């Protein structure tokens, strides 16, 4: 019975749950029945459950996941903390509007299958998002419990459900609608591409994902380290997308192997979604940046995550991390790079950031983990040159002290160099993690596809680009953003693609029977 209801929603009105929540908010008519038996005061007494974690001394010697997540007992104890708000602000703060109170209620009742199905109605990648989503700035940031105590561990509960399901082997693909007879090409198998593919496949479209690398997953595979997101988890999530009938073609570089126009003209796809991310590394353009021993974070992370260079020579890809590593940057990628470097075993691992701790864009949890692992942080420090030895290898990095000036256009205080403050840090490995820009291959090989001055593809709020039938989202339209934003863009675009393809179906029906009324309807 439940399954049928799900089908209906995804088939006819994928936006259903979202609109319903909007109605709820305005009218307040549909009151949520309270399920959890404890009184609100009692619920508030339960402290936030903490997941078991590998201790720092041990975990810096391996690449295993740091957080072990919740066990059943902790997961259930956490559900009891939910106040079951009538106006669930957590749900509204989730970029894909997961019905958080409902999944918690189902979980409380012991219906784990129902709970994970509930999540998957809104987000097809719960094992991933439960781990890497910045919940502290999204759903958990508005949780009412958090006003007085710590907010509910929503991410950890989501992760528990996904992991529990995988452990029990109870995953069954949600129902897929009857074939619509149209095919969609998805370019890129990162979180956005996987989401678009899963959504459209459930609507009955024939979907193929084209991936340039030899494994699917995008940044989930080559960027985010094993110790935050095990690659086995990513593979399982990709398999769940494939279980909906989605095909994944690896080693296909759209723009080189095939162009977007060939996807339409020769391969017969009716629509294309571009989710190719922002994978091209930025460099500082300072002297010495091309010395041996200087890596982009992308290169370091790809060698370790995708190519398993930390298992050299069992795996063939080499990596050289010296005794003193300096990582430049203050975002999640910098944090991943510095913690990855630490695990290769240098004596000293230092992170330099040109602003202060408060301005760091990285997740608080990860900064905390990095500190626990013995990473040294140098704030208000900016590199000016990298010096090499006679063999062209890095031997030191020259820096200058910064102080914070006036806020910039984004409201962050601009770092200003302190005159005469230059100093030298000895190092043999430098990792540049100051940001990524969009890969330009598709923009260069797709006539008529408009881009911004930043190299991102222009897309409207539905993901539609300047060319009909081509949609885009995630980092390729935003520059560097989050996994969940890519998922949200993918969901959004899949609705728009469905509408677009429906209009094509109607147009072709009209063509087949060109009556006056038909033509009118076709518009």
Partner 1 sequence: MYPIISSQELAPAINKLIVKAPLIARKREPGNFVILRAALTGERIPLTIVDSDPDKGTITLIVQSIGKTTMLINSMKAGDELIDVAGPLGEPTPVENHGTVVCIGGGVGTAVVYPIAKALSEAGNDVISIIGARNAELVILEEEMKAVSRELMITTDDGSAGRKGFVTDALKEILERPGTLSAGSGAVYAMGPMPMMRAVSDVTRDTGIRTWVSLNPIMMDGTGMCGACRVTVGDQLKFACVDGPEFDAHQINFDELIARNRTYADLEKKALETCKSLQT
**Which positions lie near partner 1, rule CB under 8 A?**
212-214, 222, 250-253, 256-258, 279-281, 283, 285, 289-293, 295-296, 298-299, 302-303, 307-308, 312-318, 320, 391-393, 439-441
- Give me the helices (H) in 331-399, please: 332-344, 364-372
Q: Tell me whether residue 66 or residue 219 sits nearer to partner 1 (CB atom).
A: 219
Cα–Cα dist 139/94, whole Å: 5
The rounded distance, in Å, linking the Cα atoms of 7 and 244 is 13
Residue 302 CB, nearest approach to partner 1 (Å): 6
- SS3 at position 42: helix
Q: List, in order, residues 6 or more apart from 28 with CB less than 8 Å away.
A: 86, 87
Query: For residues 427 and 494, which CB has a smaller minimum distance to partner 1 in the complex?
Result: 427
Which CB atom, from 285 or from 515, has the smaller least distance to partner 1? Answer: 285
Nearer to partner 1, 106 or 442 (CB): 442
Residue listed under structure tokens 């890969």:
439
3-state secondary structure (DSSP) of residue 191: helix
Cis peptide before 237 (omega within 30 of 0): no
Closest to 124 in 3D by CA, of 182, 184, 197, 75: 197
Give the nearer residue to partner 1 in terms of CB position, either 38 or 441. 441
Comparing CB distances to partner 1, the nearer of 201 and 442 is: 442
**Cβ of residue 281: shortest distance to partner 1, in angstroms?**
5
* Eight-state DSSP code of residue 138: T
Handedness of CA 272, 222, 167, 484 (dihedral sign): negative
203 vs 396 by CB, closer to partner 1:
396
Least Å from the CB of residue 232 to partner 1:
15
Closest CB 257 distance from partner 1, rounded Å = 5
Nearer to partner 1, 275 or 293 (CB): 293
Tokens standing for 171?
């995953």
Pairing of strands 247-249, 294-296: unpaired
Q: Which C-beta is closer to partner 1: that of 69 or that of 277? A: 277
Q: Give the chain's length.
A: 523
- Whole-number minimum distance, CB 317 to partner 1, in Å? 4
Point out which residues pair with 351 in neighbouring strands. 327, 377
Q: Which long-range contacts (CB under 8 A, 24 or more apart) does 419-426 make?
A: 422/384, 422/398, 423/398, 423/399, 424/387, 424/396, 424/397, 424/398, 424/399, 425/326, 425/350, 425/352, 425/396, 425/397, 425/399, 426/324, 426/395, 426/396
d(CA 272, CA 457): 14
Helix or strand run (H / E) with residue 20:
helix 16-27
Tell me the C-alpha distance between 98 and 117, whole Å: 11
CB-based burial label for 317 (10 Å; 0-12, 13-18, 19+): middle
- Which CB atom, from 248 or from 258, has the smaller least distance to partner 1? 258
Environment class of 163 (CB within 10 Å of its CB; exposed 0-12, middle 13-18, buried 19+): buried
CB of 173 vs partner 1, minimal distance in Å: 26
Q: How far is the CB of 329 from partner 1 (least distance, A)?
A: 14
- Give the Cα separation of 356 and 345 in Å (integer): 27
Give whole-number Cα distances, 130 to 155, 269, 461, in Å. 4, 33, 25
Q: How far is the CB of 301 from partner 1 (least distance, A)?
A: 9
- What is the distance between the alpha carbons of residues 93 and 87, in angstroms, rounded to a whole number? 12
- Shortest distance, position 196 Cβ to partner 1, whole Å: 21
Cβ proximity to partner 1, 289 vs 359, nearer residue: 289
Query: Tokens for 323?
Result: 């005794």
Report, in Å, the least distance between residue 274 CB and partner 1.
Answer: 15
Closest distance to partner 1 from the beta carbon of 360 (Å) = 24
């Amino acid at each position: 019975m439940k399954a049928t209801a799900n089908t209906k929603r995804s088939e006819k009105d994928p936006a259903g749950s979202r609109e319903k929540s909007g109605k709820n908010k305005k009218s307040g008519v549909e009151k949520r029945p309270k399920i959890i038996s404890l009184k609100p005061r009692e619920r508030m007494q339960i402290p936030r459950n903490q997941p078991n974690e590998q201790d720092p001394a041990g975990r810096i010697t391996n690449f295993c996941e740091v957080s072990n997540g919740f066990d059943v007992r902790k997961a259930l104890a956490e559900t009891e903390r939910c106040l079951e708000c009538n106006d669930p602000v957590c749900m509204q703060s989730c970029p894909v509007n997961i019905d958080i109170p409902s999944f918690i209620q189902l979980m409380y009742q012991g219906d784990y299958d129902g709970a994970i199905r509930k999540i998957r109605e809104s987000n097809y990648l719960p094992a991933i998002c439960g781990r890497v989503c910045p919940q502290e700035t999204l759903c958990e940031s508005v949780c009412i419990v958090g006003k007085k105590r710590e907010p509910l561990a929503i991410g950890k509960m989501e992760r528990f459900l996904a992991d529990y399901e995988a452990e029990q082997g109870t995953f069954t693909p949600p129902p897929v609608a009857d074939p619509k007879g149209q095919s969609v090409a998805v370019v890129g198998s990162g979180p956005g591409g996987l989401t678009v593919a899963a959504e459209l496949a459930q609507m009955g479209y024939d979907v193929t994902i084209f991936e340039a690398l030899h494994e699917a997953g995008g940044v989930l595979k080559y960027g985010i380290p094993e110790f935050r997101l095990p690659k086995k988890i990513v593979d399982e999530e990709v398999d769940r997308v494939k279980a909906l009938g989605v095909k994944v073609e690896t080693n296909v570089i759209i723009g080189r192997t095939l162009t977007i126009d060939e996807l339409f003209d020769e391969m017969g796809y009716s629509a294309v979604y571009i989710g190719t991310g922002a994978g091209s590394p930025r460099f500082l353009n300072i002297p010495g940046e091309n010395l041996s021993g200087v890596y982009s974070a992308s290169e370091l992370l790809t060698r370790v995550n995708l190519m398993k260079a930390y298992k050299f020579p069992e795996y063939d890809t080499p990596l050289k991390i010296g005794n003193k590593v300096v990582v430049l940057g203050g975002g999640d990628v910098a944090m991943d790079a510095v913690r990855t470097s630490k695990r290769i075993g240098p004596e000293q691992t230092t992170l330099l950031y040109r602003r202060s701790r408060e301005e760091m864009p990285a997740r608080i949890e990860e900064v905390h983990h990095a500190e626990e692992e013995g990473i040294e942080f140098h704030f208000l420090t900016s590199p000016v040159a990298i010096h090499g030895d006679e063999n062209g290898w890095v031997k030191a990095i020259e820096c200058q002290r910064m102080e914070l000036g006036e806020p910039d256009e984004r409201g962050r205080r601009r770092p200003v160099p302190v005159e005469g403050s230059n100093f030298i840090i000895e190092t043999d490995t430098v990792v540049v993690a100051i940001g990524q820009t969009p890969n330009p291959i598709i923009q260069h090989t797709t006539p008529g596809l408009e881009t911004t001055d930043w190299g991102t593809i222009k897309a409207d709020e539905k993901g539609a680009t300047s060319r009909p039938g081509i949609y885009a989202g995630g980092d390729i339209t935003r520059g560097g953003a989050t996994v969940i934003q890519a998922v949200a863009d993918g969901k959004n675009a899949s609705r728009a693609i469905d509408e677009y393809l429906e209009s094509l179906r109607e147009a072709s029906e009209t063509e087949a029977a060109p009556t006056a009324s038909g033509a009118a309807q076709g518009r």
